[in-house]
Structure 1
């Protein structure tokens, strides 16, 4: 990942519009945003956004009362394999919001806080595709992959340790409930609990 200070000097770089200019500012707080997207197919270049959810985690607390949970009113033809995962059929999306409205609300929600997720690079690619088309910039936030954090901690003392890096594998090992698997909000809550377990583990062991 290119550091933000260097990315800003690239000829192709475009800053956020004034409404979201804070996103370029260094974050100095103690909150993160955990997010997840569900899409019409498992392709970061072609998949259309069907739902997105996000929560703020502050310390060891998930701020569920302020969670963002949006279904997109999309006519996208959905890969049958994707439907088997997230169960979002076309008729389930009729009362959703427009993709542009969802992106706008998500950007307001995120601000300049770090963004965490499971397989977060996929979500990042999907969201940046929409943001570039609508507002001509990309998310400048710091991104955290929860499975990478898990691997670093598990292999800290036993480098050759075999690990199950599936979502269910991490949840089982960290004793985290899998909540409404493959719904955006359910995955966000479980991922937020993984983050809390992993950062609590780190705090207890690091000087």
Structure 2
């Protein structure tokens, strides 16, 4: 079997929801920032090891033109095959809590249907991206194709533009305090996603004042 035929067969073996996700990237149109759909998201996990730990919950909020659509937020809780009691004091998610929980595969389907090909925003984005990618790989899928913006890295750019050159990592709490963003439902996935969105929008406002609000400045090189 030739390479192209093998690739076609392999692609057909992917589930429909994954192919539908990939299809959203085919007709992407370059729009200006004000018309772009952004999605801020966060994961709560059993720990910080990408392969050994698991995602307990995913929260996400979407916004276009600086308007957050709270009514269209996403909140997913995932049935656990790995449980670490010591992490409960951080995220508060108990193994046998009464919230409606999905299987990992069901959560993947819901998350991909929500994000489509839109730009994802997270604080310390590599961690959340890697945790989601490990979920995908466990089910024989590819990695996320979306573009990512890290609020920590973006904030450092705005700080350099405004008044000083500082490149140290910042916690989400530090950025929220500096930018006067309310800490709503901290350490829940949806609450942290909302805080991340507010931090992002307030950072955009800083950049916009200095005429640095453009794709070249937003997207990592």
Q: C-alpha deviations, 1:2-43, integer Å up to 9, x for none?
A: xxxxxxxxx9xx978422123433453511111100111122
Q: Distance in 2 between matches of 1:55 and 1:23?
A: 19
2:138 pairs with 1:136:
no
Quote the offset at 1:189 in angstroms: 0.6
For the aligned residues, what is the CA RMSD?
Answer: 2.3
Unaligned runs of 5+ in 2: 1-6, 213-221
2:28 pairs with 1:22:
no
Q: C-alpha deviations, 1:150-188, integer Å up to 9, x for none?
A: 001102254544867111110000000111111001101
2:46 pairs with 1:40:
yes
Tell me: CA distance 1:56–1:105, structure 2 relative to 1, closer, same or farther (3 Å).
same
> The residue matched to 1:24 in structure 2 has which SS?
coil
| Equivalent residue runs for 1:87-102 within 5 Å | 87-92=92-97, 95-102=100-107
Q: Distance in 1 between matches of 2:131 and 2:57?
A: 11
2:59 pairs with 1:53:
yes
Q: Flag the structure with larger Rg.
A: 2
Worse-superposed segment, 176-185 or 19-28: 19-28
Per the normalisation by structure 1, the TM-score is 0.85
Matched pairs, number: 194
Partner of 2:199: 194
Partner of 1:175: 180
Unaligned runs of 5+ in 1: 1-10
Equivalent residues of 2:123, 2:151 under 8 A apart: yes
Q: C-alpha deviations, 1:70-95, integer Å up to 9, x for none?
A: 11121422150x22210111112663
| Equivalent residue runs for 1:117-132 within 5 Å | 117-132=122-137
Per the normalisation by structure 2, the TM-score is 0.80
> The residue matched to 2:59 in structure 1 has which SS?
strand
> The residue matched to 2:41 in structure 1 has which SS?
strand
Q: C-alpha deviations, 1:111-158, integer Å up to 9, x for none?
A: 000100111111100111111222421111101100100001102254
> The residue matched to 2:71 in structure 1 has which SS?
helix
